[in-house]
């Protein structure tokens, strides 16, 4: 009788596990699409408080279905967003204050690392290991050809997984410039961005050109940097995405502050101060505010809300230290 009981127990637990995975698979797509709601948040503090809980929910579901690609893509995007929007933003104050405190830097590194982990898991399920990415990065367009073979560039989930894995790896490099082992991975980041941006140049409301602007601005000329090209990229980007205020703040961060271009900063400051007043005026409800919805003014893409919120939060930090920066 004992073997029969063992078979019954095994069947019972296997069935429960299968049911769990089926339930997760059915839910994952819905959560993936619904996660865009976080991008419509106009209040940076609400995003800061709400995002971690959403990510822990996704991790709980991933525990039940460890190879669910939709959850892996969502988590790579989510932790990249948390690191960038919250941790790295708060690290600006640590950086500009030059206080030696690195609390938010450590959190940014931890969350970017989680994003990379989930993104690489996603890629591994498509037969793309990091070792393979690293080896192909030594070949011109090597990673692009590899990803064309293993992924579907027309599928949003694939593009999202690659984009945010690359962004997070780039974030780790940017935050740890003394780690030469990480700096050596910049070619991997560049080629991953090249692949994503060749498939969808509008992804992330200008994320491609923000990366390219930073890529050319952040390196010294002797290492292939080109500040003039970076400036051109950012100025064109501002015209192309006028509603994405984060583009202007990226211009300040990667070009105007390092180049100590005070006149350029004052131009962006004038715009952002007006944007700040406009944004704060829309936070409160008034009976006469007919054109304002819960997600933003009429005609405005609500998914830009969190980009604007991050931009204004960062601008306030820059403004606090502007006398030291210029």
Q: What is the pLDDT of residue 305?
A: 92
Task: Please tell me the predicted confidence (pLDDT) of residue 224.
Answer: 85
| Torsions phi, psi for 293 (to 5 deg) | -110, 180
Q: Which two tokens stand for residue 61?
A: 């579901």
Measured between alpha carbons, how far is residue 21 from residues 54, 61, 258 in Å? Answer: 19, 9, 50
- Walk along the chain (326 residues) and give the pLDDT tens digit of each residue: 455 544 444 444 444 556 556 556 656 666 667 677 888 888 999 999 999 999 999 999 999 999 999 999 999 999 999 999 999 999 999 999 988 889 999 999 999 999 999 999 999 999 999 999 999 999 999 999 999 999 998 999 999 999 999 999 999 999 999 999 999 999 999 999 999 999 999 999 999 999 999 999 988 888 888 999 999 999 999 999 999 999 999 999 999 999 999 999 999 999 999 998 887 666 665 555 444 444 444 446 888 999 999 999 999 999 999 999 99
**3-state secondary structure string, 28-61?**
HHHHHHHHHHHHHCCCHHHHHHHHHHHHHHHHHH
In the prediction, which pLDDT does 219 show? 86
Position 8 scores a pLDDT of: 41
CA 87, CA 75: separation in Å to the nearest integer?
16
Q: Where are the domains of the chain?
A: 18-200, 202-326
What pTM does this model have? 0.88
Rounded CA-CA distance 148/160 in Å is 15
- How many whole angstroms separate alpha carbon 314 and alpha carbon 104? 14
Site of tokens 């990667």:
254
């Amino acid at each position: 009788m004992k073997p029969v009981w063992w078979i019954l127990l095994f069947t019972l637990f296997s069935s429960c596990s299968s049911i769990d995975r089926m339930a997760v698979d059915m839910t994952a797509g819905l959560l993936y699409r619904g996660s865009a709601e976080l991008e419509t948040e106009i209040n940076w503090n609400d995003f800061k408080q709400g995002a971690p809980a959403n990510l822990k929910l996704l991790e709980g579901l991933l525990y039940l279905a460890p190879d669910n690609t939709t959850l892996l893509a969502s988590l790579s995007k989510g932790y990249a967003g948390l690191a960038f929007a919250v941790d790295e933003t708060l690290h600006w104050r640590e950086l500009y204050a030059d206080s030696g405190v690195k609390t938010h830097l450590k959190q940014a590194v931890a969350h970017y690392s989680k994003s990379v982990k989930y993104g690489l898991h996603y890629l591994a399920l498509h037969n793309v290991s990091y070792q393979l990415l690293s080896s192909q990065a030594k070949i011109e367009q090597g990673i692009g050809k590899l990803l064309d073979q293993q992924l579907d560039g027309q599928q949003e989930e694939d593009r999202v997984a690659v984009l945010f894995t690359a962004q997070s790896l780039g974030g780790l490099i940017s935050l740890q410039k003394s780690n030469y082992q990480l700096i050596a991975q910049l070619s991997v980041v560049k080629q991953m961005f090249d692949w994503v941006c060749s498939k969808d140049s509008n992804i992330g409301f200008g994320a491609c050109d923000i990366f390219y602007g930073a890529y050319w601005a952040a390196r010294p000329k002797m290492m292939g940097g080109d500040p003039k090209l970076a400036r051109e990229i950012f100025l064109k980007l501002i015209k192309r995405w006028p509603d994405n205020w984060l583009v202007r703040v990226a211009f300040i961060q990667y070009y105007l502050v390092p180049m100590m271009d005070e006149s350029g900063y004052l131009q962006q400051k004038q715009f952002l101060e007006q944007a700040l007043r406009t944004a704060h005026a829309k936070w409160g409800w008034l009976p006469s505010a007919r054109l304002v919805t819960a997600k933003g003014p009429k005609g405005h893409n609500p998914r830009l809300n969190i980009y604007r919120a991050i931009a204004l939060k960062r601008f306030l930090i820059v403004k606090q230290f502007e006398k030291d920066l210029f």
